[in-house]
Amino acid sequence: MKKPELDEQELQEIQIITMESLNYTLTIKMTIWVDGFTKLMRALSIKT
């Protein structure tokens, strides 16, 4: 599988979603690229 390339708009969208999750208790799901394979990651952002 070829490594996906993100353009500036896609990177900004990821940044906005990440920052929004800090304002609420949200689960974030991201697919990341690791050594030629994709891996689904989940994280829970908890507002304190």
Q: Given a cut of 90, is residue 7 above it in pLDDT?
A: yes
**20-36 mean pLDDT:** 83
Contact of 19 with 28, CB cutoff 8 Å: no
Q: Write down the pLDDT at residue 46.
A: 67
Predicted local distance difference test score (pLDDT) of residue 4 = 81
Q: Which residue has the higher pLDDT, 27 or 16?
A: 16
Q: With 0-12 CB in 10 A as exposed, 13-18 as middle and 19+ as buried, what is 27? A: exposed
pLDDT for 8 equals 96
- pLDDT attached to residue 28: 82
